[in-house]
Amino acid sequence: MYHTGSFIRGRSLVHRLDPRVKLSAALVFSIFILWVKPSLALASGVILLFPVLISDISLRTLVQAIKPLLFLIVLIFMVHVFFSDGSGEAPGGQTFHGLSFSRTGFQEAFWVVWRFLCLMVAAILLTMTTAPSQMIAAVKYFLKPLKKVRVPVDELAVMLLLALKLMPILLTEKERIETAQKSRGYDASRSGWVTRLKSFSHLTSKILTGVFRRADELALAMDARNFRRGERSSLAELKLTSSDYIVMGLLIFFLIIFVALNSHFG
Partner 1 sequence: MLIRLEDVYYTYETEGIEALRGVSLQIQEGEHLAIIGPNGCGKTTLIRHLNALLLPARGNVTVDGLKTDHPKHQAEIRAQIGMVFQNPDHQIVGMTVEEDVAFGPENLRLPSDEIKKRVTEAMSRAGIAKLAGRGIENLSGGEKRLVAIAGVLAMRPRFIALDEPTAFLDPAAAGRVLDMIDRLHAEGVGIIHITHNMAEAALTQRVVVMREGRILLDGTPPEIFGKAAMLKQSGMQLPQITELLLELKEAGWPVRTDIVHMKDALDQIIALTGKKQG
* Ramachandran area for residue 151 (φ above 0: left; ψ -120 to 50: alpha; else beta): beta
Which residues here bind partner 1, judged by CB under 8 A? Answer: 1, 3, 6-7, 9, 131-133, 161-162, 164-165, 168, 172, 214, 217-218, 220-228, 231-237
Q: Which is nearer to partner 1, 5 or 105 (CB)?
A: 5
Q: How far is CA 85 from CA 34, 103, 170, 239, in A?
A: 20, 10, 40, 50
CB of 228 to partner 1, least distance (A): 7
Q: How far is CA 149 from CA 143, 152, 264, in A?
A: 11, 9, 41
Q: Which is nearer to partner 1, 9 or 150 (CB)?
A: 9
The alpha carbon of 10 is separated from its chain's Cα centroid by a whole number of angstroms, namely: 19
Q: Which is nearer to partner 1, 46 or 221 (CB)?
A: 221
Distance separating alpha carbons of residues 183 and 38, to the nearest angstrom: 50
Residue type, 146: L
CB of 231 to partner 1, least distance (A): 6
Q: Which is nearer to partner 1, 226 or 242 (CB)?
A: 226
- What sign does the dihedral 75-175-219-140 (CA atoms) show? negative
CB of 250 to partner 1, least distance (A): 28
CB of 153 to partner 1, least distance (A): 14
